[in-house]
Structure 1
């Protein structure tokens, strides 16, 4: 509808047309860091203070595998158990579905935190192929934390989370997958000036103080 309206006013400046068109697209912040870096905890705080919608790629995949009628359930389960990355087509389809449903219910809810994605080069290429003209990536929020701290946090979380991958064997696999596959993606974005890094080894409140500095500036 907006495109038809814009088309009927040829004198609208190109810059304004671009701004109005962009407003219709999801604005995305990729949230990356190792397992246990505190991405989920900080995303909850960002949602509360800044009104973003939080989409966890991992949670979407875990929820999908529990659906008895899902064609991807068993496949997702086997990838997660082995600490491997689920095929990008599945992950992107789940993310896009959630963004579409959110914006359909409220067109003003167009700002999203996508937590734990993209996790490798295949994810990044898949996103660029499918979503480049659909969504705008504002920046990458990188929670930087040493491996042992991440593992200790996940083991503690595993006492009550019920997650099958919160055990040392799976965690060590996930850490290696992160270092080999995800960290290079962060490095790529950093070269283009799109990475905002936070020291995630600090306390929850200290980390969020750094996060607020970023979002107060970036919006």
Structure 2
């Protein structure tokens, strides 16, 4: 888990490469669905993206990629420029972060109380984070 730009997608791609998994990011799927979306389903997806609501599945242990709001905003703005994502303005990112914190707080509290929450400090370069946490 983690806010947009915390590095969870990057680390998933790194694990997929290392272990031969297939990685498909939810954001990538939603953006593909939105291209030229004129159907009712496309409008629903657009509405969910704009309201920043996105369901998250969590397994028996929860890994939280933890970094500052400033870092996440900077990273998402960068990727938005690289990938030409129109939905990644600074205001939209901040709204997504607010929603993320509101929706995820109860989940994080649950896992923390059960001592199943692992915080991964995600301020460093992706390669450094991967080397520290995925060395097997």
Call closer, same or farther: CA 1:188–1:164 in 2, change over 3 Å: farther
Call closer, same or farther: CA 1:68–1:184 in 2, change over 3 Å: same
SS of residue paired to 2:64? strand
Question: Larger C-alpha radius of gyration, 1 or 2?
Answer: 1
Q: Check the 8 A contact 2:37/2:43 in 1, yes or no.
A: no
CA distance in 2, matches of 1:170, 1:68: 20
- Is residue 56 of structure 2 the alignment partner of residue 85 of structure 1? no
Structure 2 unpaired stretches of 5+? none
TM-score, L = length of structure 2: 0.84
Q: Which residue is equivalent to 2:114? A: 192
Q: Check the 8 A contact 1:64/1:70 in 2, yes or no.
A: no
Q: Which residue is equivalent to 2:15? A: 46
SS of residue paired to 1:53? coil
Call closer, same or farther: CA 1:173–1:203 in 2, change over 3 Å: same
CA distance in 2, matches of 1:171, 1:68: 22
Call closer, same or farther: CA 1:83–1:211 in 2, change over 3 Å: farther
TM-score, L = length of structure 1: 0.55
Q: How many residue pairs were aligned? A: 136
User: Which whole-Å deviations, capped at 9, do the CAs of 1:87-142 have from their partners, x for residues lacking one?
Assistant: x5xxxxxxxxxxxxxxxxxxxxxxxxxxxx24xxxxx7xxxxxxxxxxxx353221
- Is residue 100 of structure 2 the alignment partner of residue 154 of structure 1? no
Greater relative contact order (Cα 8 A, min sep 6): structure 1 or 2? 2
Question: Within 5 Å, which residues of 2 pair with 1:1-219?
Answer: 32-66=1-35, 71-80=40-49, 82-86=50-54, 117-118=56-57, 137-213=59-135, 216=136
How far apart are 1:78 and its partner, in Å?
Answer: 2.2
Call closer, same or farther: CA 1:83–1:210 in 2, change over 3 Å: farther
How far apart are 1:69 and its partner, in Å?
Answer: 8.0
How far apart are 1:164 and its partner, in Å?
Answer: 2.1
